[in-house]
């Protein structure tokens, strides 16, 4: 329907973005009628997301013509931005930005580096940056989920944690059940994506490869490769993130720092 | 080198000008007192007077911002926190038992230092709190009073030198409260382990303690023998 009304690619794109945003806003209104307030966070996130992706698209247009090595800087900048974004999910947790950035760098960064060296990801900037950004974005989501869950679990179990400390347990083992729980919970989306691949959804990358003339079997296999890389990056990020943050919620004298109301 | 003060005869724990403030708020200020072998010291005061805050400083669950505590004459900042907390046991208002059996809960403390509590050791501890034969029970099936008595046995499994009791009966019904009070009295009488009892219940302090200190706005306003302090 929109294609009949808008003929220019830019106008069509804006109309499609408006339609998608209206669908999201409808969800916000339904949620509000049930007493769940999402409007502020979602409106800001959507506006930010649109401005950012258009800005990045414009910059990429210039950068994608540059030499391959510039992709290292682009990916590094993305990791720092991802660290800052997911650290916001860990309100009140000490050094959340440093933990998030290190975790994403270790998780997504190492998978990108190894897979590029192995030739699984091609080195041209037009491939490395989009595929790398997918891994970083998923690692960011996983990290945010892990920290958010860990924070909620620790705050809900202050009594149990301090009981363990009072009985002579060290800080790490006192929070160990919540480290494990948050790591597992943060990986649910990545595991479900792998599990439902091809049955519940056909990812955009595969659709794009098919549209650009790739053989369907290769497109399917490469999509699996990307999702497996996403799982590896997310899993490593979650492990590093939860292991780093568990030491940050304890003082050197093994006192729980993260407490309700702080 | 450890800072060591020769402790007076029978002295187990001494708090010296102990204090804690958070931002501009003073939770505890200049608290100086002693706990002697075999005695129970009650800390009494209204809600928000800093009783629990003071107790948490004694096993270093919170960090003092002033003063220190001497355990057997040694400044407790020179004792590893895990070792300190083994020696200064704590029982809180809620039992916070770990999922699993009663025996697994009792084994928790010793396991932290690589020791295994024997079945006979567990039975002895449980008999001491009136719960003989409870070792294999799942903690999910215990009453509030039973759970609290298990938490006493769990603290005792670490062979503490002092026990900190933070309102240990305030979440219990009258019958369970009496049972737990009996356990507290027997621990003092039979094992001679000194204790610090935080309570807002003056009558309970009179039943269980030999000495008391009254706390108001984080400061000790009175201390001495229980009868004198409560009479004043």
ipTM: 0.92
Secondary structure (3-state) at B222: strand
Beta bridge partners of B70: B14, B75
Instruction: Report residue A11's pLDDT band, with 50, 70 and 90 as the boundaries.
Output: confident
Largest separation between any pair of C-alpha atoms in chain B: 51
Interchain CB contact of B105 with A (< 8 Å): no
> What does the pLDDT profile of chain B (232 residues) look like in tens digits?
555 555 666 899 999 999 999 888 999 999 999 999 989 999 999 999 999 999 999 999 999 999 999 999 999 999 999 999 999 999 999 999 999 999 999 999 999 999 999 999 999 999 999 999 999 999 999 999 999 999 999 999 999 999 999 999 988 888 889 988 998 998 888 888 999 999 989 999 999 999 999 999 999 999 999 999 888 7
CB contact under 8 A, A159 and B86: no
Distance from CA of A97 to the nearest CA of B (A): 24
Length of chain B: 232
pTM of the model: 0.81
- Long-range contact set of residues A12-17: C-beta below 8 Å, sequence gap at least 24: A17/A50
Pairing state of beta strands B66-71 and B11-22? antiparallel
Secondary structure (3-state) at B112: helix
Interchain CB contact of A168 with B (< 8 Å): yes
CB contact under 8 A, B109 and A254: no
Nearest CA among A127, A129, A148 for reference residue A78: A129
CB contact under 8 A, B90 and A254: no
Note the pLDDT tens digit of each residue in A30-68.
878 877 777 787 888 888 888 888 887 787 777 777 787
A223-240: average pLDDT: 90
CA A49 to chain centroid, in Å, comes to 14
Note the pLDDT tens digit of each residue in A57-116.
787 777 777 787 888 988 999 999 999 999 888 888 889 999 999 999 999 999 999 999
Query: What pLDDT sits at residue B4?
Result: 58
Question: How far apart are the C-alpha atoms of A43 and B59, rounded to whole Å?
Answer: 48
Nearest CA among A22, A18, A57 for reference residue A5: A18
Residues 153-172 of B with CB under 8 A from A: 154-155, 158
Percent of chain B clearing pLDDT 70 (strictly above): 96
Distance from CA of A256 to the nearest CA of B (A): 8
Alpha helix stretches (DSSP H) within chain B: 51-58, 81-87, 102-112, 119-128, 144-156, 174-186, 202-208, 226-231
Which residue of B57, B58, B61 is the best one to mutate when testing the A interface, meaning the one whose CB has the most A CBs within 10 A?
B61
Q: Which chain B residues are within 8 Å of A255, Cβ to Cβ?
A: 60-63, 81
Interchain CB contact of A200 with B (< 8 Å): no
């Amino acid at each position: 329907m929109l294609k009949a009304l808008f003929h220019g690619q830019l106008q069509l794109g804006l109309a499609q973005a408006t339609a998608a945003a209206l669908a999201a806003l409808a969800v916000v209104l339904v949620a509000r009628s049930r007493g769940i307030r999402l409007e502020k966070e979602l409106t800001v996130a959507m506006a930010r997301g649109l401005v950012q992706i258009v800005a990045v698209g414009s910059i990429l247009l210039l950068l994608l013509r540059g030499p391959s090595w510039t992709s290292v800087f682009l990916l590094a900048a993305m990791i720092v931005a991802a660290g800052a974004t997911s650290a916001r999910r860990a309100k009140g947790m000490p050094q959340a930005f440093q933990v998030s950035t290190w975790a994403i760098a270790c998780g997504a960064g190492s998978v990108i580096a190894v897979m590029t060296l192995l030739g699984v990801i091609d080195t041209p900037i037009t491939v490395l940056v989009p595929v790398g950004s997918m891994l970083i974005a998923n690692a960011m989501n996983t990290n945010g989920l892990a920290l958010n869950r860990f924070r909620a679990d620790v705050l809900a179990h202050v009594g149990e944690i301090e009981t363990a400390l009072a009985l002579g347990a060290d800080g790490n083992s006192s929070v160990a059940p919540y480290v494990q729980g948050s790591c597992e919970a943060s990986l649910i989306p990545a595991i479900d994506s792998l599990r439902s691949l091809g049955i519940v959804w056909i990812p955009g990358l595969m659709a794009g490869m098919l549209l650009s003339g790739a053989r369907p079997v290769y497109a399917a296999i490469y999509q699996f490769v990307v999702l497996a890389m996403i799982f590896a990056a997310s899993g490593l990020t979650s492990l590093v993130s939860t292991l780093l943050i568990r030491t940050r919620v304890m003082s050197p004298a093994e006192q729980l720092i993260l407490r309700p109301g702080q | 080198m450890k800072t060591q003060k020769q402790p007076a005869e029978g002295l187990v724990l001494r708090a010296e000008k102990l204090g804690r403030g958070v931002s501009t708020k003073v939770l505890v200020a200049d608290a100086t007192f002693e706990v002697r072998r075999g005695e129970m010291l009650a800390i009494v005061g209204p809600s928000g007077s800093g009783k629990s805050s003071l107790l948490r400083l004694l096993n270093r669950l919170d960090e003092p911002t002033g003063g220190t505590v001497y355990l057997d004459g040694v400044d407790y900042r020179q004792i590893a926190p895990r070792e300190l907390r083994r020696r200064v046991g704590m029982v809180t208002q809620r039992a916070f038992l770990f999922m699993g059996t009663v025996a697994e809960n009792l084994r928790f403390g010793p396991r932290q230092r690589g020791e295994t509590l024997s079945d006979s050791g567990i039975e002895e501890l449980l008999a001491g709190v009136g719960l003989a034969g409870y070792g294999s029970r799942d903690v999910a099936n215990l009453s509030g009073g039973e759970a609290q008595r298990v938490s006493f046995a769990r603290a005792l499994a670490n062979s503490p030198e002092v026990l900190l009791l933070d309102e240990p009966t305030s979440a219990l019904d009258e019958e369970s409260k009496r049972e737990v009070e009996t356990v507290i009295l027997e621990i003092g009488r039979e094992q001679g382990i000194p204790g610090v009892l935080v309570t807002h219940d003056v009558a309970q302090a009179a039943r269980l303690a030999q000495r008391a200190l009254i706390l108001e706005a984080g400061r000790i306003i009175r201390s001495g023998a229980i009868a004198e302090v409560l009479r004043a």
